[in-house]
């Protein structure tokens, strides 16, 4: 019988912020979204205060302040690095791992000796991640991915479990599923929950009991698979090799609206550089590039302009210089004075392997030089911080359009100058 685990970091961003700040161990911690708008992570203390996920910060600022909360802007460089460390540890513990999100991974444990005692295995995973990385995780185990995810939910809900739960035994499962609202089942969510509830399907157990023919009659086949997985029969296996990315999007809302082309040029250049970096991370070339600009659709009284345009690159490339030239050429054509733009973005498409994009006319030595240069730029930026090497059109240092990140924590793990000092 197959067996899976779902490992999930508890309150990931908040726990990440605490990692290098032991003084915050017992203080409430929140992390805010881009531009410090909404709450995107809460420590347990903040959850206990009743502050909901996604709440605009200004609405709960007073409550948080009087509770002595430490408030952070999102520090993605830190989270991405810690995420990679967690995944590396998990890969040492299980033969196959599927990274499901920045802080969650499925482990295929089928055939693993440790599984004579799954709860003990879960506790070992917790201990290893804690000692290797320093972050707390919860572990859910079950014969299907859907049940492993539910077990993880149970592990988090009830402190009695100490963050590990298993739904392998059918008897235990039937009882546990009765207490879980159907909307908490992976793949149900808000999408189907309301319709299911109208049919009297309120708990995960109700969904498992619903006849297959009835589900197929009323819902997409994906929900029939979910129900089958709740019954303990696996329909999904581990997808360890994620399909190659089809496109790369780099887009952000500005910290303040842009009214001057010079600022827009800097922002577009910045996003093009980031997108190119991510493209090289996938080992692919891009064949086409799109630029889009947006005014604020919520300000109905203001003039609106939301242009976008794409261009096919003369030859597929992963060279920042080529992508920058193309992006700025399009941005210049899209730009119209008199508007207050709040967002811009770059999309790279027609991603392909370098081999597939070569033909009779490919200048291989120019390609090799370009790859060498980009490799060097990426290596320096990885080592010394993202803007150690910049391109001429990029702006160094602060600018009004940059995201507001007033409470950003140091890049503890990715910038030498931000290394924590132990006295």
150 or 324: CB nearest Mg ion: 150
By CB under 5 A, which span of 8-16, 225-233, 261-269, 281-289 interacts with Mg ion? Answer: 8-16
Q: Which of residues 81-120 bind Mg ion (CB under 5 A)?
A: 103
Report the sign of the C-alpha dihedral through residues 342, 254, 83, 140, in that order: negative
103 or 228: CB nearest Mg ion: 103
8 or 206: CB nearest Mg ion: 8
161 or 265: CB nearest Mg ion: 161
Quick check: helix, strand or coil at residue 52?
coil
The nearest distance, CB 197 to Mg ion, in angstroms, is: 26
The nearest distance, CB 10 to Mg ion, in angstroms, is: 6
Residue 153 touching Mg ion (CB under 5 A): no
Q: Please name which of 62, 65, 40 lies closest in space to residue 52, comparing C-alpha atoms.
A: 40
Instruction: Tell me which of 3, 6, 7, 8 binds Mg ion, using CB under 5 A.
Output: 8
Q: Which of residues 198-227 bind Mg ion (CB under 5 A)?
A: none
CA atoms within 13 A on the CB side of 305: 15
CA distance 335 to 291: 11
Cα 348 to chain centroid distance, Å, stands at 19
By CB under 5 A, which span of 12-20, 26-34, 88-96, 239-247 interacts with Mg ion? Answer: 12-20
Residue 17 touching Mg ion (CB under 5 A): no
By CB under 5 A, which span of 6-14, 68-76, 162-170, 239-247 interacts with Mg ion? Answer: 6-14
- The pair of structure tokens assigned to 382 is 């990885």
CA distance 340 to 183: 40
The nearest distance, CB 47 to Mg ion, in angstroms, is: 12
The nearest distance, CB 131 to Mg ion, in angstroms, is: 19
Q: Please name which of 408, 403, 412 lies closest in space to residue 133, comparing C-alpha atoms.
A: 412
CA distance 173 to 169: 6
Q: Which of residues 275-314 bind Mg ion (CB under 5 A)?
A: none
Instruction: Tell me which of 6, 7, 12, 60 binds Mg ion, using CB under 5 A.
Output: 12
98 or 103: CB nearest Mg ion: 103
Q: Where are the alpha helices (DSSP H) in 49-202?
A: 57-66, 76-93, 118-132, 145-157, 170-178, 189-198
CA distance 138 to 150: 12
100 or 391: CB nearest Mg ion: 100
What residues have CB less than 8 Å from 164, skipping those under 6 apart?
119, 122, 123, 126, 138, 139, 140, 141, 155
User: What number of chain residues touch Mg ion (CB under 5 A)?
Assistant: 4
- The pair of structure tokens assigned to 278 is 């991510």
- The pair of structure tokens assigned to 189 is 């969510």
The nearest distance, CB 139 to Mg ion, in angstroms, is: 12
The nearest distance, CB 12 to Mg ion, in angstroms, is: 5
18 or 280: CB nearest Mg ion: 18
The nearest distance, CB 8 to Mg ion, in angstroms, is: 4
The nearest distance, CB 102 to Mg ion, in angstroms, is: 9
CA distance 314 to 361: 12
103 or 229: CB nearest Mg ion: 103
The nearest distance, CB 103 to Mg ion, in angstroms, is: 4
12 or 192: CB nearest Mg ion: 12
97-to-1, 104, 113 alpha-carbon distances in Å: 18, 10, 17
- The pair of structure tokens assigned to 345 is 């973005």
By CB under 5 A, which span of 4-12, 185-193, 222-230, 279-287 interacts with Mg ion? Answer: 4-12
Residues in touch with Mg ion (CB under 5 A): 8-9, 12, 103
């Amino acid at each position: 019988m197959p067996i899976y685990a779902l490992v999930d970091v508890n309150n990931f961003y908040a726990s990440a912020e605490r990692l290098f700040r032991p003084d915050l161990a017992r203080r409430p911690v929140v992390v805010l979204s881009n531009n410090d708008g909404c709450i995107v992570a809460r420590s347990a203390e903040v959850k206990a205060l009743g502050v909901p996920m996604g709440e605009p910060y200004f609405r709960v600022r007073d409550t948080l302040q009087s509770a002595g909360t430490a408030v952070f802007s999102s520090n993605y460089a830190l989270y991405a690095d810690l995420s990679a460390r967690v995944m590396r540890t998990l890969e040492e513990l299980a033969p196959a791992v599927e990274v499901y999100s920045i802080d969650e991974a499925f482990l295929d444990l089928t055939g693993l000796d440790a599984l004579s005692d799954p709860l003990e295995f879960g506790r070992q995973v917790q201990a290893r991640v804690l000692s290797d990385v320093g972050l707390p995780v919860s572990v859910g185990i079950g014969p299907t991915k859907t049940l492993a995810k539910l077990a993880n939910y149970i592990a988090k809900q009830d402190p009695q479990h100490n963050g590990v739960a298993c739904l392998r035994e059918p008897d235990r499962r039937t009882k546990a599923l009765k207490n879980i609202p159907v909307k908490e089942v992976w793949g149900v969510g808000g999408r189907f929950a309301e319709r299911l509830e109208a049919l009297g399907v309120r708990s995960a157990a109700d969904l498992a009991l619903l006849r297959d023919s009835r589900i197929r009659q009323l819902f997409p086949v994906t929900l029939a698979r979910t129900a089958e997985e709740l019954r303990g029969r696996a329909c999904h296996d581990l997808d360890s090799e994620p399909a190659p990315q089809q496109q790369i999007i780099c887009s952000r809302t500005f910290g303040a609206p842009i009214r001057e082309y010079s600022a827009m040029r800097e922002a577009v250049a910045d996003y093009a550089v980031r997108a190119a970096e991510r493209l090289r991370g996938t080992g692919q070339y891009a064949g086409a590039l799109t630029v889009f600009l947006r005014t604020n659709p919520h300000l109905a009284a203001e003039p609106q302009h939301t242009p976008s345009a794409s261009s096919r690159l003369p030859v597929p490339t992963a060279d920042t210089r080529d992508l920058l030239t193309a992006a700025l050429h399009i941005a210049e054509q899209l730009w119209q004075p008199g508007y207050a733009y709040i967002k811009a973005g770059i999309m790279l498409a027609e991603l392909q392997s370098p081999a597939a994009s070569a033909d009779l006319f490919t200048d291989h030595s120019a390609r090799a030089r370009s790859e060498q240069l980009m490799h060097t730029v990426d290596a320096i930026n990885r080592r010394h911080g993202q803007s150690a090497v910049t391109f001429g059109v990029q702006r160094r240092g602060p600018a009004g359009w940059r995201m507001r990140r007033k409470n950003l924590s140091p890049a503890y793990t990715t910038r030498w100058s931000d290394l924590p000092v132990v006295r």
